Amino acid sequence: MKKLKIKTGDTVKITAGDHKGTEGKVLSVNVEKNKAIVEGANMVSKHEKPSAKNPQGGIVKKEAPIHISNLSLVDAKTGETTRVGYEIKDGKKARVSKKSKEVI
């Protein structure tokens, strides 16, 4: 399995596709498929059958997964998109922003 540079809880910006420019928080990451679900982006309509959880059923808007290559991490300090690097800090491997050199 490949290690991804985007994790759950990160703020990302969509760099390609219909939702280009949209920023949001990563809700979940699927490592096997290299996809992530971003809050409020790539909304699709799903038909749901009535169930105990949703007795009415009907059409529900949900976020669909987006490929990791179409996402760019937003640096919390500068508010701009940045690439991710790794450095050893205090004996631990840490994710580092390439623009601001700060630990993410």
Please identify, in words, the CATH class of the domain defined by 11-50+59-97. Answer: mainly beta
Calculate the alpha carbon distances from 59 to 47, 93, 97 in Å.
5, 44, 40
Q: What is the pTM of this model?
A: 0.84
Q: How far apart are the first and last CA of the chain?
A: 23
Residue range 25-54: mean pLDDT, rounded: 94
Domain residue extents for the chain = 11-50+59-97
Q: What are the pLDDT digits (tens) for 52-71? A: 988 998 999 999 999 999 99
Residues in the chain: 104
Report residue 98 CA to chain centroid gap.
Answer: 18
